[in-house]
Amino acid sequence: MTVVNVQVHILQPNNLVVQEIITSTSSVLIKNKPLNATVTFPHNYRNTSIMHTYQINFDTDLNVGDYVQFTYTGNWTLFTSNISVISGITETVNNTANWVATLGASASSSQLLLSNFSQISKSTQLTFYLPLLTPLSPSTYTLTIKAFRQNAGLAQSYSRSVLVNQTTGYIREMKLHPMQSPVKLPVGQTGPIEIVLFLMNNLPKTNVLTWGQIIIKITPNIPAPIVSLNGVPKCYFYDNIPAANCTFDSSDPTKTLVTIFTPVDFNFQQSEVPLTITT
């Protein structure tokens, strides 16, 4: 916003008597405070289904009536029904977050609107997963995030470029978050990790000619079981069918990797019975 004819009034201490008035005839540009945001994605392929991960820290609370606008230049397909919110949005009976995606004229931009929430607190990071389909044409696009007040206009904004290259292909991804796991343990306690998987593709059994592999990355690092106390980690499909091999690597202080191979005699694609990691 540009302001002209700015006046500064210098007042006497402890009263409202004006001692001096300073007037500026030049224009003054008033900028909104930039938004602290991080957007990550696994690759830059064109015409590909991927997941964009948003991590946003607002400098001020957003309340009922305020809204957040996400705009991609170009033709992106945004799957609002599959958005997964991890943290940051407070809802009530009358105010539940609403996500609406629209496509601009001539497919020049794609917009996502977040509204009708009760509050987004500045003390909590807004984190969510946005599944989308990237544009068909390779180019450098622009992503803009703007937070608006109900009656006071733009509050904060963020902008960055998003490269979409000429590589074409589909990568099937599945996002799991520990906050959504039904298994809860007190701090310091031990127990199995149980994950229900419904994969897009069938993994063949692991034998001489074929193999299927599942790699689970856990962040932050969780310690490996103490073999002398708990035994060697084991993985089971379909309740009691052992994996051909199962390794639990916590050597990296930033993450833990669990590598699981399908059973010797069974393929795997999906099961309502959890894949279990235990000792």
Q: pLDDT digit string (tens) for 120-177?
A: 999 999 999 999 999 999 999 999 999 999 987 888 999 999 999 988 765 455 555 4
Sign of CA dihedral 234, 236, 241, 243: negative
CB 199 within 8 A of CB 174: yes
pLDDT at 178 over 50: no
Q: pLDDT digit string (tens) for 77-126?
A: 999 988 999 899 999 999 999 999 998 877 789 999 999 999 999 999 99
Q: What is the per-residue pLDDT for 220?
A: 82
**C-alpha–C-alpha distance, residues 81 and 201, integer Å:** 22
CA-based nearest residue to 63, from 119, 8, 121, 147:
119
Q: What is the per-residue pLDDT for 175?
A: 52
CB 196 within 8 A of CB 274: yes
Of 71-75, 219-223, 251-255, where does the model show the most confidence?
Answer: 71-75
pLDDT at 245 over 50: yes
Q: What is the per-residue pLDDT for 52?
A: 93
Q: pLDDT digit string (tens) for 1-31?
A: 566 777 777 887 777 777 787 777 777 666 6
CB 213 within 8 A of CB 197: no
Sign of CA dihedral 246, 189, 175, 145: negative
Residues 6 or more apart whose CB falls under 8 angstroms from that of 95 comprise: 64, 116, 117, 118
Q: pLDDT digit string (tens) for 263-276?
A: 998 888 887 788 88
**C-alpha–C-alpha distance, residues 49 and 71, integer Å:** 18
pLDDT at 252 over 60: yes
Token digits of residue 279? 């000792």
pLDDT band for position 229 (50/70/90)?
confident
| Better-scored residue on pLDDT, 17 or 237 | 237
Token digits of residue 248? 């639990």
Prior bond to 220 cis, omega within 30? yes
Q: pLDDT digit string (tens) for 27-60?
A: 766 666 788 999 998 888 888 888 899 999 999 9
